[in-house]
Amino acid sequence: MEGTDRPSKAGESAAPLLDVQELCTYFPIRTGILQRVRGFVKAVDGVSFHINAGETLGLVGESGCGKTTVGRTILRLIPATSGQVLYRGRNLFELSGSEMRRLRREMQIIFQDPVGSLNPRMRVGRIVGEPLEVHGLARGEQLRQRVGDLLERCGLWPGAAERFPHEFSGGQRQRIGIARALALQPKLIICDEPTSALDVSIQSQILNLLAELQDEFQLSYLFISHDMAVIHHVCDRIAVMFNGHIVEQGSRDEIINDPQHAYTKALLGAVPQPFPQ
Partner 1 sequence: MHDTRTISRTDERPPDAAGSDDAVAETDQVLSPTRLAWKSFRRSKLGLVGSLMVLLLIVIAIGGEQFSPYDAYSMDSSVSLEPPSLAHPAGTDRFGRDQLTRLMEGTRISMLVSFVAVVLSLVIGIPLGLIAGYYGGLAGTVIMRGVDVVFAFPTILLALMLVATLGASLPNLILAIAVIFQANVVRIVRASVMSVKEREFVEAARAVGARDSVIMAQFILPNVLSPVIVQATFHLSLAIFIEAALSFLGLGTQPPTPSWGLMLNESRTFMEFAPWLTIFPGLAIIFAVLGFNLMGDALRDAFDPRLSQR
Interface contacts to partner 1, rule CB under 8 A: 72, 75, 77, 100-102, 104-105, 108-109, 111-113, 115-123, 127, 130-131, 134-135, 157, 159-160, 162-164, 166-172, 177, 180, 184, 199, 201-202, 205
Give the alpha-carbon dihedral of 108, 113, 117, 122, to 10 degrees: 140
The DSSP code sequence of 47-78 is: EEEEE-TT-EEEEE--TTSSHHHHHHHHTTSS
Whichever of 14 and 166 has its CB closer to partner 1, that residue is: 166
Give me the least distance between CB of 238 and partner 1, in Å please.
Answer: 24
Of 44 and 238, which has the nearer Cβ to partner 1?
44
Largest CA-CA distance found in the chain, in angstroms, rounded: 60
The torsion of the CA quartet 148, 112, 222, 22, rounded to 10 degrees, works out to 140
CB of 201 to partner 1, least distance (A): 8
* Shortest spacing between CB 199 and partner 1, in angstroms: 6
Q: How far is the CB of 122 from partner 1 (least distance, A)?
A: 7
Which amino acid belongs to residue 275? F
Cβ-based nearer residue to partner 1, 112 or 264: 112
Beta carbons of 136 and 160 less than 8 angstroms apart: no
Q: How far apart are CA 185 and CA 218, in angstroms?
A: 10
DSSP 231: H
For every residue of 4-19, DSSP letters joined together read EEPPPSTTSSSPPSEE
Q: Is 47 or 176 the residue whose CB approaches partner 1 more closely?
A: 176
What's the rounded Cα separation, in Å, for the pair 259 and 250? 10
Instruction: Give the shortest CB-107-to-partner 1 separation in angstroms.
Output: 8
Closer of 151 and 228 to partner 1 (Cβ): 151
User: What is the smallest separation between the CB atom of 102 and partner 1, expressed in angstroms?
Assistant: 8
Is 135 or 146 the residue whose CB approaches partner 1 more closely?
135
CB 71 to partner 1: min, Å = 10
C-beta closer to partner 1: residue 230 or 247: 230
Where helices occur in 112-169 by DSSP H, the ranges are 124-134, 140-153
